[in-house]
Amino acid sequence: MELLNTIIDPRKPRWVRHPVATIVAISLCAALSGARSFCAIAEWAQALSREVLRQLGSRRPQPPSEPTIRRVLQRLDADRLDAQFGHWLAGQHPLAGCGLAVDGKTVRGGHDPHRSAPHLLSAILHQEAVVLGQVAVEEKTNEIPKLAPSLDPLPLNGAVVTA
């Protein structure tokens, strides 16, 4: 929750009923439980007790609605959030002596009729299978120019990196 409390809320303070940290915490827990849509996240949240909501930082007895969850998550700076989580994850486990794989993948199911599926270059811890960071690779380019920027924020001293 300490990390989530550092997320910048994109909303105007006057209309905020649920803290952004609470919405992200609920969304993360719901996704880890199998929720794959905004509706599924909201349905998962409806089953939470008041105590669990309080532990997730809620100041209200009811969880945020599906439109609130959707609007907040869609307006968050995904690159900044990804960097914050990657930095936090890297700090939880020393990388010295660890293997870190850097590989690009196209996101399955991430396309629509007007755009092709996004392609991401990800840095993943071998043993733990944890993604420490990822950057988007634009169309009509390759992953090589994105390699160094994707590794810059990570404390790589003593780590073995494969690409």
Per-residue pLDDT reduced to its tens digit, 2-27:
999 999 999 998 889 999 999 999 99
* pTM across the whole model: 0.79
Residue 36: per-residue pLDDT: 92
Residue 116: per-residue pLDDT: 79
Residue 110: per-residue pLDDT: 62
Q: Where are the domains of the chain?
A: 4-75, 78-162
Residue 112: per-residue pLDDT: 66
Secondary structure letter of residue 55 according to DSSP: H
Residue 111: per-residue pLDDT: 61
Alpha carbon of 87 to those of 18, 27, 37, 80: distances in Å? 26, 20, 26, 11
Residue 61: per-residue pLDDT: 93
Residue 76: per-residue pLDDT: 95
Beta bridge partners of 124: 101, 131
Low-confidence ranges of the chain (pLDDT < 70): 109-112, 140
Pairing of strands 99-106, 160-162: parallel
Handedness of CA 153, 157, 158, 161 (dihedral sign): positive
Query: How are strands ordered across the β-sheet holding 99-106?
Result: 130-137, 119-125, 99-106, 160-162
Residue 132: per-residue pLDDT: 87
> Hey, is 89 helix, strand or coil?
helix
Residue 131: per-residue pLDDT: 87
Residue 20: per-residue pLDDT: 96
